[in-house]
Chains A and B, each alone.
Chain A
Amino acid sequence: MPQDRRTVARLAHIWLALALVAVSVLSLATGPTGTSLWGALGKMFNAEPLTAMERVVLWDIRLPRLIIGILVGAGLAVSGALMQGLFRNPLADPGLVGVGAGGTLGAILAIVLGSALPIWLSDIVGNMLIPVSAFFGSWLVIVVLYRVSTRHGRTSVATMLLAGIALAALAAALSGIVIFLADDQQLRDLTFWSLGSLAGATWTKVVITAPLILIAIGASFFLGRGLNALALGEATASHLGIAVQRLKLVTILIVAMATGAAVAVSGGIGFIGIIVPHLLRLATGPDHETLLLNVALLGATILLAADIISRLIIAPAELPIGIVTAVLGSPVFLWILLRRRGLVDM
């Protein structure tokens, strides 16, 4: 019999925050070049100049990567928890609303057709063509999905589920057509993009994605009560005073923003959205009011840990982070399913 889980969940805020800080420091302090964080801090403290190497590694490489890692990890995990709350199902994941498929379609279009852009346009967009295109791809799919599932001002979650599957299939088919136009190099670029990576983290990307993801995550903290009520069904939630349609709309928008931005800058990273909320529900209960913050913290921590692995395991080359999360995530997921067999009948 579980004790009152609220206290445990609130204590978890502290533990997880500490864990995140620890992994963040570890992330800044480790890397294949062996550049030392402490050495640099020491120098700064003594007002000594840093070497070019220290500056580049710590400021241009590791720090933006750390920030993007935190944002993407938290964003994906929170999006997963929100999707599960919205669909009232612990197996739901942002991919259900076609965000991933739309993002991939956007990326493919950018990779294959990017060279056809006029020079003045590609100069403006620069390196951001793929992320921007991926982001718009995600949004397009979500907007279409919302329109299709909403009638008379009411969004049917069941319709969203089916329509999401259909739209994802459509996006994949369109991607397939574009892939046929691609040459070998572009296909490889696409493969690497799909496997996910934080290696392309730049300050530009930080500046663009941070507001999107932070606002999304911040807004999600206000949805805790509503999602709890929603667990009893839409009618009951409405009787409890929750504006259900607004809750659905805000949830979808938040997921679109957070996942869209995350996929745009880091490609396809899987499992975080399903594993992290699951683990926390098992440990501290499904109360969304405490769950969402914990999910954000743990998602960021786990992604940073995966990133450290991806950077070191085959140094000086890098393993795409999507592979690390899949390799670590699948056994955990199976373990969760096996353990829960007796507990809950889904």
Chain B
Amino acid sequence: MKIWLKKAAGLALAMMPAVAQAEGEKNVLAIGGSVTEIIYALGEGDRLIGRDSTSSYPPEATGLPDVGYMRALAPEGVLSVGPGMIISEDGAGPPETIEVLQAANIPFITVPDGYSAEGIVQKILTVGEALDVEAASIALASDVRMKLQEAEEAADALAGDAPKRVLFILSTQDGRIMASGTNTAASGIIEMAGGVNAVTAFEGYKPMSDEAVIAAAPDVILMMDRSGDHFVSDEDLFALPAIATTPAAQTQSVVRMNGLYLLGFGPRTADAVLDLTAALYKG
């Protein structure tokens, strides 16, 4: 009861009939890990009143109310955190929820995906515009652009003529290898780090047959470092028949990195590129 009263009160204060954005108001809902990171990087983290389940960085973000998985948002749940504005990565849903939010006259700004340096810059600028802090966003964007350029050049240098073939595996549950084809965040970061996506036959994250994995002949396996049920130990990984005969298995080359850090395509990506390059070529 108390929570509801608090929220109702907060709501009454925050939601005056004409929904005008006063500057610096604490009423932004961030959806998507990279969006949240960008907002904090712009120094506007105080304006957040909620986030989604993928927003795990920085640690302060996890203290905010979690509206759940971004493709399965509940309309009243979203409204209950009292958003005056929603900034979201591409792909939020379901469509019915988005429609209700629009009917409630809440500005919904979609930040386009982009698995490249330019993509990240665009994200930062879009978020900056939404939050009305364009000066800060331009500064952050150029800083990020510079770091990314340096990282990519370093990566190219290390790769030289023999870039490593990298296979990104999303999961091996049920014995099915879900891997990344082209046009994904994983593919993007691999290219930026001086590697080559071992898979070019399809787009998106799809299950691959064992023979296709063998034919891809990756030098390195790249995975997210998940704990709990999704965790696959090196031993189990290389024991899989599809993987056992790959060059990666022969050199026992597997790289694990935090999912949001590696694939988020946000302010930390330059560092992620450097880390990945190091892991690929010096590890």
Question: Is the pair A33, B11 in contact by a Cβ cutoff of 8 Å?
Answer: yes
Closest CB of chain B to A196's CB: distance in Å? Answer: 12
Within 8 Å by CB of B19, from A52, A199, A314, lies A52
Question: Is the pair A31, B80 in contact by a Cβ cutoff of 8 Å?
Answer: yes
A33 to B81, CA, bound (A): 7
- In the complex formed, the residue of A with least CB distance to B29 is A316
A46-60 with Cβ < 8 A to chain B: 51-53, 56-57, 60
A182 to B96, CA, bound (A): 22
A127 within 8 A of B: yes
Question: Is the pair A56, B103 in contact by a Cβ cutoff of 8 Å?
Answer: yes
A288 within 8 A of B: no
Using known A-B contacts A33-B11, A184-B205, A200-B96, determine if residue A57 contacts B71 with beta carbons closer than 8 Å. Answer: no
Question: Is the pair A183, B205 in contact by a Cβ cutoff of 8 Å?
Answer: yes
A81 to B145, CA, bound (A): 64
Residues from chain B with Cβ under 8 Å of A320 in the complex: 72
Residues from chain A with Cβ under 8 Å of B72 in the complex: 192, 197, 199, 318, 320
A248 within 8 A of B: no
B66 within 8 A of A: yes
Residues from chain B with Cβ under 8 Å of A200 in the complex: 94, 96-97
A6 to B105, CA, bound (A): 53
What bracket does the count of chain B residues touching chain A fall in? 35 or more
A278 within 8 A of B: no
Question: Is the pair A316, B67 in contact by a Cβ cutoff of 8 Å?
Answer: yes
B58 within 8 A of A: no
Closest CB of chain A to B171's CB: distance in Å? Answer: 8
B44-66 with Cβ < 8 A to chain A: 50, 53, 65-66
Residues from chain A with Cβ under 8 Å of B206 in the complex: 181-184
Question: Is the pair B204, A316 in contact by a Cβ cutoff of 8 Å?
Answer: no
A182 to B178, CA, bound (A): 11
- In the complex formed, the residue of A with least CB distance to B176 is A180
Closest CB of chain B to A85's CB: distance in Å? Answer: 35
B74 within 8 A of A: yes
Using known A-B contacts A184-B204, A315-B80, A316-B66, determine if residue A192 contacts B71 with beta carbons closer than 8 Å. Answer: yes
Residues from chain B with Cβ under 8 Å of A316 in the complex: 50, 65-68, 74, 77-78, 80-81
Number of interface residues of A (CB under 8 A): 37
Question: Is the pair A51, B15 in contact by a Cβ cutoff of 8 Å?
Answer: yes
A249 to B91, CA, bound (A): 44
Closest CB of chain A to B221's CB: distance in Å? Answer: 17
A188 within 8 A of B: yes
Bits for A161-180, please: 1 = Cβ < 8 Å to B, else 0: 00000000000000000001
A188 to B91, CA, bound (A): 12
Question: Is the pair A57, B76 in contact by a Cβ cutoff of 8 Å?
Answer: yes
A154 to B71, CA, bound (A): 47
Question: Is the pair B53, A317 in contact by a Cβ cutoff of 8 Å?
Answer: yes
A185 within 8 A of B: yes
Question: Is the pair A34, B80 in contact by a Cβ cutoff of 8 Å?
Answer: yes
Residues from chain B with Cβ under 8 Å of A218 in the complex: none
A238 within 8 A of B: no
Most chain B CB within 10 A, of A34, A56, A62, A181, is at: A34
Question: Is the pair A32, B204 in contact by a Cβ cutoff of 8 Å?
Answer: no
Residues from chain A with Cβ under 8 Å of B97 in the complex: 199-200
Within 8 Å by CB of B7, from A34, A61, A181, lies A34
B40 within 8 A of A: no
Within 8 Å by CB of B77, from A35, A53, A127, A318, lies A318
A51 to B104, CA, bound (A): 10
Question: Is the pair B96, A33 in contact by a Cβ cutoff of 8 Å?
Answer: no
Could you list 7 examples of A-B contacts with CB < 8 Å?
A: A32-B76, A53-B15, A182-B206, A183-B205, A184-B170, A192-B69, A200-B94
In the complex, given contacts A183-B205, A317-B53, what are 18 additional A-B residue pairs having Cβ atoms less than 8 angstroms apart?
A31-B76, A34-B3, A34-B5, A34-B80, A53-B15, A56-B79, A56-B104, A126-B95, A184-B205, A185-B71, A199-B74, A200-B97, A201-B96, A202-B99, A314-B68, A315-B80, A318-B74, A318-B77
By Cβ-Cβ distance, the 5 closest A-B pairs, closest first, are: A317-B68, A32-B80, A34-B4, A316-B77, A318-B74
Q: Hey, which bits of chain A sit against chain B, CB under 8 A?
A: 31-36, 51-53, 56-57, 60-62, 126-127, 180-185, 188-189, 192, 197, 199-202, 311, 314-318, 320
